[in-house]
Amino acid sequence: MSIEIMGLLLILLIYLVISQWFLKRKLHIKEVRKSILSGYRKKRYVYTEFLLFILLFVSTFYMIEDLGAFSFLPLFMFFLLTNVLRGIEEWIENRSEKGYYHDWLSSVAFLIIIIFLLIV
């Protein structure tokens, strides 16, 4: 296996151990599932997430030739920013349940993946 695949699998394994074993089982923090179409979300978060999706589409469409080997960057940045936004939303709306830890852990995992792939 190449070093990229091994590194990504190691990052995924560390993320799963922290998320599933530590946050869910040890700290009993439930993960809150959200989507852009969830009915209970406030409009400002939905609009911001929709704007991020539009920016992903535009950046992928216009910059795909310029990015070359870094064509993964817009998609991973979208996932990173979406998880940060959802973490902030959960932190503001339901701070006591601490579900934002899962979103922020996902953001950190995507940031580490981006940095790893840019270095390697």
How far is the C-alpha of 112 from the C-alpha of 120, rounded, in Å? Answer: 12
Please state the pTM of the whole predicted model: 0.88
Give the start-to-end residue ranges of the domains of the chain.
3-119
CB 32 within 8 A of CB 69: no
Rounded to 5 degrees, what are φ and ψ at 59?
-65, -35
How far is the C-alpha of 76 from the C-alpha of 74, rounded, in Å? Answer: 6
How far is the C-alpha of 55 from the C-alpha of 11, rounded, in Å? Answer: 27
pLDDT in tens, 78-110: 999 999 999 999 999 999 999 999 999 999 999
Q: What stretches in the chain show pLDDT beneath 50? A: none
